[in-house]
Amino acid sequence: MIYSDKVMDHFQNPRNVGTLPDADGVGQVGNPVCGDMMTFYVKVKDNKLTDVKFQTFGCGAAIAVSSMVSEMAIGKTIDEAMAITNESVAEELGGLPKNKMHCSNLGADALHAAIDNYKAKTAGTATGRTVVPEHDHEGDACCCPYCEGPVEGLPNICACKQCDVELVECGHCHKYTNKAETVCTHCGAQLER
């Protein structure tokens, strides 16, 4: 898998990593198949994002995406930050491998979730929910959490085409794990049979 120099730089030297204990908005987005989880924290003053921090659990591409999103968002108005798309982030990074676009490039979604949380807080309707995008196995958009090979199958049970591992969604953490295991390799919960 070949990454651009910009992706490698943001992976090896991520910007704005951490939390904001007094954040005005917090948003979390995850992909249960690949296991990527991104949490964004925003501070807002005079309708501008004055600070953005993130915590990401995922591969190098997920970390690079989160770092780039944070840099793109700081100093922007809320409307300008909401206009940042996953595609514009990938373009700013010099591109991402096709199998990383769906699983790792969720940074803009996490930023938008944090801004939505801020808007809900200011309106008094905050829910603090985690956004988990609907999973779609069409084409080769998804990858195996073990070998990063292409995944195909039904939403609740699927298989990796490359390492031939049958994957099942954990009912506890909603990440995909090897069906042959008795406990989830991500959270340790007992897998339902």
**pLDDT of 4-38, one tens digit each?**
899 899 989 999 999 998 999 999 887 666 677 88
> Positive or negative, the Cα torsion across 14, 19, 22, 23?
positive
Q: Does the structure show a pLDDT above 70 at 187? A: no
The highest-level CATH class for domain 5-123 is alpha beta
Instruction: Compute the distance between CA of residue 74 and CA of residue 77 in angstroms, rounded to an integer.
Output: 9
Whole-number pLDDT of residue 138 = 42
Q: What proportion of the chain, given as a percentage, has pLDDT over 70?
A: 65
Residue at 103: amino acid letter: C
Evaluate whether 92 touches 73 at the Cβ level (below 8 Å). Answer: no
Residue at 22: amino acid letter: D
Q: What proportion of the chain, given as a percentage, has pLDDT over 90?
A: 34
pTM for the predicted model, two decimal places: 0.65
What digits encode the pLDDT tens for the residues 75-115?
999 999 999 988 899 889 888 877 666 555 688 889 999 99
Domain parsing of the chain, residue ranges: 5-123, 137-193
Running DSSP on this structure, what letter comes out for residue 13?
S
Cα separations (Å) of 93 from 54, 65, 67, 71, 114? Answer: 17, 8, 10, 11, 22
Positions annotated as catalytic residues are 34, 103
**Could you give the residue ranges of the DSSP H alpha helices within 74-173?**
78-82, 86-92, 98-101, 107-123
